[in-house]
Structure 1
Amino acid sequence: MRAVTVHEGALEVAELPLPQPGRGQVRLRVTRAGICGSDLHARHHADATADVAAEVGYPDFMRREHTVVLGHEFTGTVDAYGPGCHERWEIGQPLVALPLLKDGDAIQMTGLSPHAPGAYAEYVLVAEDAAMPVPEGLDPDLAALTEPLAVARHAVNRGDVSKRDVAVVVGCGPIGLAVLLMLKAAGVRRVIASDYSSGRRELATACGADTVVDPGQLWDLVAEEKGAVTSATTLFGEGLDAMHQLRRVPRLPWWSVIRAAQRLGLTPRGPVVFECVGVPGVIDDIVTHAPFLSRVVVVGVCMEPDTFRPTMAVNKELDLRFSFCYDPVEFRETLHLVADGTVDPRPLVTDVVGLDGVAGAFETLGAADRHAKILIDPWA
């Protein structure tokens, strides 16, 4: 079969043996595969990521010296079953699948390990138990976006975002746009997005952002939002003012009133900020400029060491949370949100290329202004 391999940062189309499904595995004929930002990073920074992965118990993440078939966002049709399968679906049934494959006693990350070739290919192997049928009529272009949208759904869940929260999305690349879509699907009424690229700001508007600005304007705008607290004096003063007013009422248990107000969300509450850039310095910029009591969800994958000022985060009582991947339920929920039209990710798809166009697509995405998600049709 034809596939795109990466070795020492070089992408090339190669002829590889047709993969044979092992026990409990299904071979899919790939219909669409997505180029992920982590693929762009892994092409050049795989070793740094592999070192961290090994520290957390996954020793098989790809390294630059390996020859790997990338591609962990995909959809395809059932082509063959391996031994021990339940054969749940007919040949030709469209599926999506969690990009995880069992290799003996080990679990491999499809498309990010030399032991589990990915979907930049005509065929890919998936675990039958990790596969899910694509609802009838769903466009393969949209089904292939299940994986990155599930990442965004998990990030929104990590932020505990309510409909009344102000949400701020920093960075409108593919993952930032996916977070935007999931915030609006969750009913969040006020979503502010920022990006230096005018093209990506247009995409953010298409994905439902209520306000889209250049990063230079972002924090002044957020500071104007109702309830935003931007100084310690204001925060402490509001507490003292509340006590002063409540204690004017004889025998009123002021502490119970304040607790009740907190439970009802009537006390100061910062925005939920999603860091979707993944380059050094962005976390510190958010910590420095976000209002007091903000929750910061780090979704961007920064491959280099970074710093921020903990004392600033402490003084502002910021919540700093990190988001990675998703669980199987979030993956399935995402697939069906797309299928029933609750989430419309069409603005994300800005091009479709064949295997011969993958190297060029990587270069385009590396300097993207108008592009978000470029999909691969291995049969084009």
Structure 2
Amino acid sequence: MRAAVCTKGEFRVEDLPTPVPGPGQVLVSVTRCGICGSDLHARTHCDDMADLAAATGYDHFMRSDQAIVMGHEFTGEIVEYGPGTRRRWKTGTPVVAMPILRTGRQPELTGLSANAPGGYAEHVLVQEPMTFEVPNGLSPDHAALTEPMAVGWHAVRKSRITKGQTAFVIGCGPIGLAVISMLKAAGVRTVVASDFSPRRRELASACGADVVVDPGTESPWAATPKPSRITGASDILNLGFDAMERLRRIPGLPWWQVFRLLHTLDRGPSGPVVFECVGVPGVIDQILTAAPPMTRVVVVGVCMQQDAFQPATAINKEIELRFVLGYDPGEFRDTLHMLADGKVDPSPLLTGTVGLEGIATAFSTLASPDHHAKILVDPRSDRTAP
């Protein structure tokens, strides 16, 4: 099979042996594979990423001196089953799969490990239990976006945002756009998106953002149509005074039980929910400094450098800081069906397609935010530029 192989940051198209599915695995003919922001980082910073992965318990992340077939946002068609599979689908059935293989008890990240070649190739191996049939005739272009959109859905679900809370999305690259799309699919009524790039602001509007801000000229916190009534520490303290004055007016009321009920239901005053989708040092600190009290900050952007912020700022405002990664099988499956059922339209993210010979050019193009969001790879196309 033909595949784009990356070594020391350089791509070359080679003829490789077609993978043979092992126990529990399925061979899939790739129809589309998306280029992810993590691929851009891994191409040039994979050794640092491998060190971080090893420190957290995964020591098979790709290294720069290895020959790696990247690509983990893929869709394709069933070709061949390995031993021990249930053979759930007929040959030619379109599928998507979570990008992870397992040999024994050892998981491997597809497209990010030498032991699990990815979707920048004509064929890829998938694990049958982690594979899902593409429903409703969903196109390969849209099916390939299941993986990045699932990242967005996981972030939204873990945020515990309610429909009435204001969402701020800081950074409108592909993951920020996925978060915006999933927030609107979840029924969140007010989404404020912020990005320096005019092109990304345009795409944010297309994905459903209600307010789009250039942070170079306007503060996103001032742009919301629903300003927070809690703007400082004094407001937080006055909430307690106001609540107690009202509750004490009711004779015989065990007012402490009201507080206990609110604690049990996780109810009470709350600020907006902020999704940090930039992944650049300093952004978290900027958000903690500028965001209203009682904000929940969900960190989705992957920052590869050390970062610093003032904990006392977050403490004084009682800001919750939460980090998210990936998705689970249920979220992946639900995302696929949201796409197939028309509940989410991923088309604004799609800005170009290349063949295997055009991957290097696509990577260079994606280094600038001014033109493209998501470029897909069609392994059988001869396109060399998106």
TM-score (norm 1): 0.95
Deviations 1:82-136 (A, max 9, x none): 2222211111100100111113431100000000000001111111111110013
Gaps of 5+ in 2: 382-386
Cα distance in 2, alignment partners of residues 300 and 242 from structure 1: 38
Going from structure 1 to structure 2, the CA distance change for 1:224 and 1:254 (only over 3 Å counts) comes to: farther
2:325 aligned counterpart, secondary structure: coil
Deviations 1:116-175 (A, max 9, x none): 000001111111111110013111000000011111111111101111111110000000
Aligned to 1:165: 165
Aligned to 1:9: 9
Cα distance in 2, alignment partners of residues 104 and 335 from structure 1: 28
Q: Which amino acid aligns with 2:72?
A: H
1:68 aligned counterpart, secondary structure: coil
Q: Which amino acid aligns with 1:113?
A: S
Q: Which amino acid aligns with 2:198?
A: S
Cα distance in 2, alignment partners of residues 221 and 326 from structure 1: 32
Cα distance in 1, alignment partners of residues 58 and 101 from structure 2: 13
1:1-380 correspondence runs (5 A):
1-216=1-216, 217-221=218-222, 225-256=226-257, 267-380=268-381
1:30 aligned counterpart, secondary structure: strand
Query: Cα offset for 1:13?
Result: 1.6
* Contact residue 228 and residue 292 of structure 1 kept, 8 A: no
Deviations 1:24-62 (A, max 9, x none): 211111000000000001111111111111122111000
Query: Cα offset for 1:237?
Result: 2.1
* Contact residue 23 and residue 83 of structure 2 kept, 8 A: yes
Q: Which amino acid aligns with 1:177?
A: L
Cα distance in 1, alignment partners of residues 42 and 296 from structure 2: 28
2:163 aligned counterpart, secondary structure: coil
Q: Which moved more, 1:340-349 or 1:8-17?
A: 8-17
Query: Cα offset for 1:194?
Result: 0.4
Query: Cα offset for 1:220?
Result: 3.7
Query: Cα offset for 1:254?
Result: 4.4
Cα distance in 2, alignment partners of residues 323 and 264 from structure 1: 23
Tell me the C-alpha RMSD between the 2 structures.
1.8
Q: Which amino acid aligns with 2:157?
A: N
Query: Cα offset for 1:80?
Result: 1.3
Q: Which amino acid aligns with 2:340?
A: A
* Contact residue 32 and residue 75 of structure 2 kept, 8 A: yes
2:162 aligned counterpart, secondary structure: coil
Going from structure 1 to structure 2, the CA distance change for 1:64 and 1:332 (only over 3 Å counts) comes to: same
Q: Which amino acid aligns with 2:278?
A: V
TM-score (norm 2): 0.94
* Contact residue 7 and residue 68 of structure 2 kept, 8 A: yes
Aligned to 2:384: none
Query: Cα offset for 1:368?
Result: 2.1
Q: Which moved more, 1:226-235 or 1:331-340?
A: 226-235
* Contact residue 228 and residue 271 of structure 1 kept, 8 A: no
* Contact residue 223 and residue 230 of structure 1 kept, 8 A: no
* Contact residue 147 and residue 331 of structure 1 kept, 8 A: yes
Cα distance in 1, alignment partners of residues 306 and 266 from structure 2: 36
Query: Cα offset for 1:377?
Result: 0.5
* Contact residue 222 and residue 228 of structure 1 kept, 8 A: no
* Contact residue 136 and residue 341 of structure 2 kept, 8 A: no
Q: Which amino acid aligns with 2:21?
A: P
* Contact residue 173 and residue 372 of structure 1 kept, 8 A: yes
Cα distance in 2, alignment partners of residues 261 and 311 from structure 1: 26
Cα distance in 2, alignment partners of residues 256 and 104 from structure 1: 52
1:215 aligned counterpart, secondary structure: coil
Query: Cα offset for 1:351?
Result: 0.6
1:69 aligned counterpart, secondary structure: coil
Gaps of 5+ in 1: none
2:219 aligned counterpart, secondary structure: helix
Q: Which moved more, 1:232-241 or 1:86-95?
A: 232-241
* Contact residue 194 and residue 220 of structure 2 kept, 8 A: no
Percent sequence identity is: 58
Aligned residues: 380
Going from structure 1 to structure 2, the CA distance change for 1:132 and 1:266 (only over 3 Å counts) comes to: closer
Q: Which moved more, 1:266-275 or 1:295-304?
A: 266-275
Cα distance in 1, alignment partners of residues 102 and 224 from structure 2: 49
Deviations 1:297-326 (A, max 9, x none): 100011111111111111111111110011
Deviations 1:156-208 (A, max 9, x none): 11101111111110000000000011111111111111000011001000000
